[in-house]
Amino acid sequence: MKNHLFLLACLSSCLSVAQPVPTTDTPLDVIKRIGDKLIRDTPFSYRLVRATPSTTFDGLQAIDFGRTFTLCKPAVAYAYTRLTAPGNQTRTLQVEHNDGCKIWLNGQLVYEKKGNHAINIVHDERSIELPNVLKLTLHKGANDLLIKSETAGKDWRVYLQPPSTKGAVLTSEQAPLTIGLHGLDSVDSSVADLSNWLVIGPFANPASGATRTGLDKANGPETGIQFGTMYGGLEAPVTWTIPKVDVLGDVYNPLTWGTNYNWNYHNGGVAWAMQQLAEQTGEKKYDDFASRFCDFQLASIPFVRYQVKTLNAVNSANYQLVDTPLLDFTLAPALPFIYRLRKNQSFANRTDYESFIANMIKYARFEQIRLPGSGIYTRTTPEKYTTWADDMFMGIPFLVQAAQYTPDATTRKAILDDAASQVLGFTKQVWDPAANLYMHARYSNRDVKLPHWTRANGWAIWATSEVLVALPNDHPQYQSILNQYRKHVQSLVRYQTEAGFWPNVMDRPDGKIEVSGTAILTMAMARGITHGWIDAQQYKPIVVKGWNALKTQVDADGTVHNICMGTMCSEDVNYYLNRPYFDNDTHGLFAVLFAALEVNQMLAGDLQRLKGR
């Protein structure tokens, strides 16, 4: 009987978690549930994990001889692995290394470069680029790859990867190769689990005059690889081993879409929303969450840099904090930092925030890539140049905040003018006048029409509204921006469903409804009513309908449903229609938080007007 009661209690508990919020809850009641869940679920710390190699060869492979052999004088060493191909084929690889390097595939020399070389790795927007190229003619099945690397006594690393896709959505591509030591009879699987590579060395790298000769002198591994035997090394006999196995700091409970405290724009957006939730509720715990997010990221920078640069863990936790020239990982996640500086004149590590934001303002004004002839923010991914509607939100709200934060009047005007010009410049590029909607993106070198993704339209109108709030009414571009906002709103309302949602692709009603886009559009229209940009009588029913729809997607424990995960751009509308959805993806959480904040402001305005009668 006790067991039955226990099961009934558990069932009751499970059912209560899945219950939607009460219909009587105010917008702030609803999002306090979300905020409380974020506070409960976000540890803001790293957990130690063993670095585990991927056997799918679709990213960077690093062989760090220097960290393995800890030798600071000229030497050579070897690395061995296997590439397994699904069929006979030719593959192009990128390679980079210090000093001299040779590479053999199945005993045939396929790459050689001599001399002193410094490593040059470019961290691009969504890729890492290596400067050297080699071609491999692979046969079906296992192929032996042997690398010989020399050092002049300083750096000693080799990097290898397939050509990067630069973030492109590929509809047809070769299946990735498999890399590693699994399937090799002479290597136990427990060893293969630790590393994709075997290494051996150091061997002598003598000099003849000014020329080192070690790269050309054949050592034992070149004449025949044998395991369980010794070779004559530089200072003592050597045998095959694996590179140093590292322990890395990782986030807790990583999911497909990430976690609440990865370094990205949507988590920065959550922190920015929590700051304003604290303002509207008077509850400090929400602001404390935002401060913890910011403090954690600032404190993480040296650690993340060490993992990326020293341990070669280029995709380790929060690696985007280091040398990532993309607005998603620079200006947008910096919003809660600059907002805290604006709102709080005294806190313990304010000088660290000031230094961080000074670099971000410099980046925003002088370093972020811009579209030639236009001056708006653009990207080189997936091709040069691609202008994304997303980047209206990724960059413009930060400019608005920077203008309000900057004490110098001339600089303040220049930054705000830039923000205003970018709204109109982006509209010129990605607005589709035939549909009166924003395309997700536009390529500069190809005249193709990309889909009208709803969240991209949200990013565009959100950024437009941020500029309208800050821009003086007599600014020469104010009226043009206001006209564009109104035109966009008039178009958007056509696509709201009977239930109050917007579909994931604006003009595809057969697509699935989506929470983040619905929330952003609801937010932007509520803001327009509050500020008098659009007629309240006409648009308030649209906003209320949107908010009531959003409430159905929020459970009593703060769980939020039906959020489309992060999305690249594509010409294929089916890519958008088939994107995965997740619960609690912060793309949707921060959008719902802001929607409620603006709906609450709108309703508070109604109350004030009633009181004034």
Tens digits of residue pLDDT in 251-286:
999 988 889 999 999 999 999 999 999 999 999 999
- Identify which of 563, 600, 554, 575 has the alpha carbon closest to the alpha carbon of residue 458: 563
Give the pLDDT confidence score for residue 412 in this predicted structure. 98
478/319 Cα distance (integer angstroms):
39
Q: Are 425 and 374 in contact (CB under 8 A)?
A: yes
Q: Are 156 and 204 in contact (CB under 8 A)?
A: no
Q: Are 465 and 392 in contact (CB under 8 A)?
A: no
Is the per-residue pLDDT at 547 higher than 80?
A: yes
Mean pLDDT (the chain) is 93
Greatest CA span in the chain, whole angstroms? 96
Q: Regarding predicted confidence, which is higher, 128 or 609? A: 128
Give the pLDDT confidence score for residue 1 in this predicted structure. 42
Tens digits of residue pLDDT in 206-253:
988 878 999 999 999 998 888 889 999 999 999 999 999 999 999 999
Give the pLDDT confidence score for residue 572 in this predicted structure. 96
- Identify which of 393, 388, 291, 304 has the alpha carbon closest to the alpha carbon of residue 349: 291
> Across the strands, what pairs with 144?
82
Q: Which residues of 59-75 are buried (b: 16+ CB within 10 A; e: fewer)?
A: ebbbbbbbbbbebeebb
CB atoms within 10 A of CB 115: 11
69/410 Cα distance (integer angstroms):
56
> Across the strands, what pairs with 581?
564
Give the pLDDT confidence score for residue 170 in this predicted structure. 64
Distance of CA 247 to the CA centre of its chain: 23
Task: Provide mean pLDDT across the span 598-608.
Answer: 86
Tens digits of residue pLDDT in 76-87:
999 999 999 999
CB atoms within 10 A of CB 570: 20
147/80 Cα distance (integer angstroms):
6
Q: Is 578 exposed, middle or buried (0-12, 13-18, 19+ CB in 10 A)?
A: exposed
Place of tokens 């959008």: 591
Tens digits of residue pLDDT in 566-599:
999 999 999 999 999 999 999 999 999 999 999 9
Tokens of 587: 């793309």
